[in-house]
Amino acid sequence: MYFFIILLLSLLLNKPFIGEAGKIQTVSSMGNDGRGQETSLVHSLQGTWNVTNDDHSINVFCDVPGGIYSDLMKAGIIGNIYKNYNDIETRWIAKENWNYFTNFFVSGEMLARKAIFLLFNGIDTFATITLNGKEIGYTKNMFRRYRYSVKDLLQIGINNISVYIHSPIEIANKEFEVETNRRGGVPVQPLCTPAKYNGECHVNHIRKQQASFSWDWGPAFPSSGIWKMPILETYDVVMMRDIEVHMDRLYEMKRWDVKLIVHLESIPKNMISGSLVSNLFHYKNKTRFIVNETNIDNYEMPKSGRIAITQHLIVPDNFVELWWPNGYGLQPMYDLTVSFNSSEHVSKSIKVGFRTIKLIENPLVNYEGLTFYFKINDIPIFMKGSNWIPSNILPEATLSEDGEKRIRRLLMDAKIANMNMLRVWGGGLYESDYFYSVADELGILIWQDFMFACSMYPASDSFLKNVEKEIEQQIIRLQYHPSIAIWAGNNENEIALRNNWYSTASNFSLFKEDYVKLYADVIKTKVEQLDGMRPFVVSSPGNGRMSESEGYIAQNPGSVLYGDVHVYNYYSNAWSPSSYPNLRFSSEYGLQSLPNYQTLAEATDNPSGDLQRNSAFMKHRQHFILNYLVMDLQIFFQFPTEKIEFKDYIYRSQIIQAVAMKVETEKYRQLRNTLYNDSTGLTMGALYWQLNDVWQAPSWSSIDFAGRWKMLHYYAKNFFAPILISGNLNDGLLTVFISSDVPTLLEASMTIIIHKYQLFKDINTITKNVSIIPQKSLIYYQNALKPLLGKTDLSETIIILKLAWDDGSDQHSMDNYVLTGNFKKVTNEPHTTCTVIKKQGPDFQLLLRTNSFAPFVWLQTNITTGIFSDNGFMMTSTEKYIYFYGNNPDISNEDFQASIRVSSLRNTTQLI
């Protein structure tokens, strides 16, 4: 009845009904993101709240968890933020303060509990929290969890809560002024993003997703909101917060020592008695096979209200099946359940995997530098992958049901492309529990940056204490995941300081002192204290151990002889291997391209006017400070100078990007076992920039914002293949490598074909039986090319490489090509057709036919989503079979046939 009275009053007062009073939800699966805790003592405050601005000109229903941009779109106050110029036209939202408020019901039974805490798993970012008219706290870090004791403030029946979120833009400006004064007038650099980004200033002063103020691949949407689930915890004894899992493999004893640190929380001076029981279940039959019990008798909770209890599980080797990265084996995950049993029962279940990881930085005998590679389960592994930016620019969207579908799809796309590592970049988010669980499941290792990128940062006591709590919470939350391989202190801040990117040279000592305080004294210390299972590097790029020995700011943080390197070479020929260095590990490298035309069309209400090469819209969407200069230059290097349509410009930009990344990645894989006299080489990692997008715009991604694969992602599937045949042409010498990531010797047949494309004819073929050495990259053919050409000019040819082998269970093959020049002489216009010859569920088999050389054949369909088995390929023969793997079994052969578009370099009229 009370519920309906409030509803009636809200209608009479012409105000929206406030929240869902009396509908507080008991949560049966609550954990670090509001999930995973089995207890009837946890109650969700998620649901429909209200949000209003200061002058109450906007007062609408909203979703919690959620965020202001999502709320206003849903309410119809603003349109789709990803369309048109809405990143600019909605900027007023971030300059306002927003009050989120609701009512909730508390029963007498709940209020009778000894401990009642209000827990916010994530507020973005600066919020004053008021409960029943009493201010209880202030948040200032979107990456932290905040917990408040509220028993004395609650009442039986209706209670009200307000979360007043201050403008992040205004707070950033104020923090900048305060910090500049504290530093005697020396501001923390950089002051703002480049004007080209259409962004906001001083994001480095606040602990918020750095990219929310804009980046060179993304828009500024400075979000505000309760982005993770808020909950009310009511109990008498304890609440279980986190479980740390530290695994030590005892080789001589043939067992694992699994140390658990279980974090319990309660009210100070509460007397705790009960039993803590840990159960490890076999991953196949789910039967319990390891158990440990610790009794606690009349333990008085300390002032902090937090205790950590250590238990050990001794696991024999014969109970363990190892967790492996993608491509090296399976990913068995064991269920671990920890329960605290007393007058109440509280438990938490997580999944763990058994694996060891080491970062090997060893000196080289008679050479300069250190190695830099990972050993997983004692096996050296070449890391193949990309860089992950947030899956959505709005943090709350990453946690929604659709957001989780997007995350799974992107991680699956990475797995399909034979990736075994993604780098979670330091300007975004610590990702959700769901993200890391899917990475565990798929065998995708995570290089985890802490959230500091491309800036200097303050080092005031308050800032450092804020960061220390953030780092502690995030490490404890995440460290049990086998997918997390390494922690990194920041993205590009060491090299930025050393090379004066932000005009810091005149105050170098001050900025270095700040740097060491933040990344060494706070973050490095905290990592070593909380997670001894994994390596830590202070910065990426950086010289690893060498940077530390040089006081954390190396003389040359981009040295190819140490650590990891970021490689961007925009002005050289991107299709030439000589444009790229011989290094130990490349954790970033890339080149821009445009997204698919369909994706761009979804971003504008005026496609005919906006989707033009020099339109205001396309200039607005391009945040790279070099604008389209690099694309234009690289297209000029490779293709004839001619007037082309915008769709063809998109297509060529994707060709440029795909081939450039192919050439660079193949070089890195070729260098796995090569050490040159100048100490360069021994490359053991290639993570290109970047996997995904946050809006429809030019970027370095291989998958656009709509989830459509660019040509690069199809190429990545090939250049990251477990067995790769690749070649180089240098000073007339043809060198063919085979790179193997598999653990067994394979017998194979290798074929090298010299194809004269103007005649559509193979003019020379070399076939050779080879033994592919496991986990090596070696030369299998080397010879002068000129004798193979006869009288044919090199510029009229392309070299096709083929490899076929049997791994004992199946036949395998792969094709590749070596470019002998650019494509300015390709003048033929092939007639290429595609015929659907077989349908099986949502999948189709296609037959392509061509009457002449068809370079970069590109297949598209606009009636379903899915991927082709190959795309962007060279057709040097008359026929080729391709498969399309779709997700809609209701599409007929006829409809799919009609939707297919086939394009190649000299025949692009069919581009969608």
Residues 22 and 129 in one domain: yes
| Digit-coded pLDDT (tens) for 193-235 | 999 999 999 999 999 999 999 999 999 999 999 999 999 999 9
The answer as to whether 357 is a domain residue is: no
**Gap between the Cα atoms of 862 and 859, Å rounded:** 10
Higher pLDDT, 29 or 693: 693
| Residue 436 to residue 484: CA distance in whole angstroms | 8
Instruction: Say if CB 490 and CB 532 are below 8 A apart.
Output: no
pLDDT digits over 282-323, tens only? 888 888 888 899 999 999 999 999 999 999 999 999 999 999
| 469 & 484 share domain | yes
Q: What does the pLDDT look like over 720-774, one tens digit per residue? A: 999 999 999 999 999 999 999 999 999 999 999 999 998 999 999 999 999 999 9
Which stretches of 593-704 are assigned E, i.e. beta strand? 685-688
Predicted local confidence at residue 12, as pLDDT: 38
How far does the chain reach from its first CA to its final CA, in angstroms? Answer: 58
Q: Could you give the CA distance from residue 415 to residue 417 in angstroms, rounded to a whole number?
A: 5
User: What SS3 state is found at 801?
Assistant: strand
Rounded to whole angstroms, the Cα distance separating 687 from 510 reads 33
Residue of 38, 431, 588, 664 with catalytic role: 588
pLDDT tens profile 793-818:
998 999 999 999 998 888 999 999 99
Which region, left, alpha or beta, applies to residue 108 given φ > 0 means left and ψ of -120 to 50 means alpha? Answer: alpha
Q: Which amino acid is at 74?
A: K
Last residue of a domain, one of 720, 735, 755: 720
The whole-number average pLDDT for the span 237-246 is 96
- CATH code of 247's domain: 2.60.40.10
51 has pLDDT over 60: yes
Element (H, E) at 312: strand 306-316
Residue type, position 350, single letter: I
pLDDT at 17: 37
- Domain assignment present for residue 696? The answer is yes
471 within some domain: yes
User: Can you tell me the mean pLDDT for 159-174?
Assistant: 98
In a domain, 798, yes or no: yes
On whether the CB atoms of residues 206 and 176 are closer than 8 A, the answer is no
19-28, 175-184, 283-292 — which one is most confidently predicted on average? 175-184
Backbone angles phi, psi at 89, to 5 degrees: -70, -15
The predicted pLDDT at position 909 comes to: 63
Position 373 in a domain: no
Provide the strand spans (E) within 611-684: none
Within a domain: 380:
no
pLDDT in tens, 778-793: 999 999 999 999 899 9
Residues 458 and 432 in one domain: yes
Asked if 116 and 206 sit in the same domain, the reply is yes
Residues 594 and 522 in one domain: yes
Per-residue pLDDT band at 3 (split at 50, 70, 90): very low
Per-residue pLDDT of 346-372, as tens digits, reads: 999 999 999 999 999 999 999 999 999
Q: Distance between CA 224 and CA 166 in Å, rounded? A: 8
For residues 847 and 840, what is the distance between their CA atoms, to the nearest angstrom? 15
Q: Residue 10's pLDDT band (boundaries 50, 70, 90)?
A: very low
In three state form, how does the secondary structure of 266-308 look? Answer: CCCCCEEEEEEEEEEECCCCCCEEEEEEEEEEEEECCCCCEEE
Residue 521, domain member (yes or no): yes
| pLDDT reading at 31 higher than 50 | no
Q: What does the alpha-carbon distance between residue 864 and residue 896 come to, in Å, rounded to a whole number?
A: 9
Q: How far apart are CA 719 and CA 594, in angstroms?
A: 21
Determine phi and psi for 693, rounding to 5 degrees. Answer: -125, 160
The H or E element spanning position 657 is: helix 646-670
pLDDT per residue as tens digits for the range 503-557: 999 999 999 999 999 999 999 999 999 999 999 999 999 999 999 999 999 999 9
pLDDT at 260: 97
d(CA 436, CA 481): 7
pLDDT tops 70 at residue 673 = yes
Task: Please identify which residue in the block is written with the tokens 């009053």.
Answer: 9
Choosing from 492, 494, 664, 666, the catalytic residue is: 492
User: pLDDT category, 7, cuts 50, 70, 90?
Assistant: very low
Residues 77 and 116 grouped into a single domain: yes
For the stretch 185-210, what's the b/e string if a residue is b when 16 or more beta carbons lie within 10 angstroms of its beta carbon? Answer: eebbbbeebeebbbbbebbbbbbbbb
* Same domain as 267, residue 412: no
**Residue 626 counted as domain residue:** yes
Per DSSP, the residues of 154-213 read: --SEEEEEEEEEPPHHHHHHHHHHHHHHHTTT-PPSP-B--GGG---B-GGGSBS-GGGE
Q: Identify the three-state secondary structure at position 246.
A: strand
| pLDDT reading at 238 higher than 90 | yes
Number of domains in the chain: 5
Categorize the per-residue pLDDT at 864 as very low, low, confident or very high, splitting at 50, 70 and 90.
Answer: confident
pLDDT band at 906 (very low <50, low <70, confident <90, very high): confident
Asked if residue 703 has pLDDT above 70, the reply is yes
User: What tokens appear for 455 in the block?
Assistant: 């800036």
CATH label of the domain that carries residue 673:
3.20.20.80
Predicted confidence at residue 1, as pLDDT, reads 41
767 plus 711 within the same structural domain = no
Using CA atoms, how far apart are residues 414 and 438, in angstroms rounded to an integer? Answer: 12
pLDDT of residue 283: 84
**Chosen domain end from 720, 748, 768:** 720
- 378: confidence class by pLDDT, cuts 50, 70, 90: very high
Q: Comparing 281 with 828, which gets the higher pLDDT?
A: 281
- Tell me the pLDDT tens digit for each residue of 430-463: 999 999 999 999 999 999 999 999 999 999 999 9
Nearest to 873 by CA among 896, 902, 899, 901: 902
Range of the domain at 866: 832-903
Task: Establish whether 550 is a catalytic residue.
Answer: no
Average pLDDT over residues 388-402: 97
Give pLDDT tens digits for 570-583: 999 999 999 999 99
Catalytic-residue membership of 470: no
Res. 828 pLDDT band, cuts 50 70 90: confident
The predicted pLDDT at position 898 comes to 94
* 688: exposed, middle or buried (Cβ count in 10 Å: 0-12, 13-18, 19+): buried
- Domain containing residue 147: CATH number: 2.60.120.260
Percent of the chain with pLDDT over 90: 90
Q: Which among 540, 594, 541, 590 has a CA at the least distance from the CA of 570?
A: 590
Do 546 and 659 have their domain in common? yes
Q: What gap in Å lies between CA 61 and CA 886, rounded to an integer?
A: 38
Which percentage of the chain shows pLDDT scores above 70? 95
- Where is the domain boundary, 818, 852, 878? 818
Nearest-angstrom CA–CA distance, 774 and 765: 26
Shared domain check, 324 and 456: no
| Residues 476 and 561 reside in one and the same domain | yes
Alpha-carbon distance of 695 to 594, in angstroms, equals 12
Instruction: State the Cα–Cα distance between residues 262 and 243, nearest whole angstrom.
Output: 5
Mean pLDDT of the chain: 94
Question: Is residue 854 domain-shared with residue 814, that is, in the same domain?
Answer: no
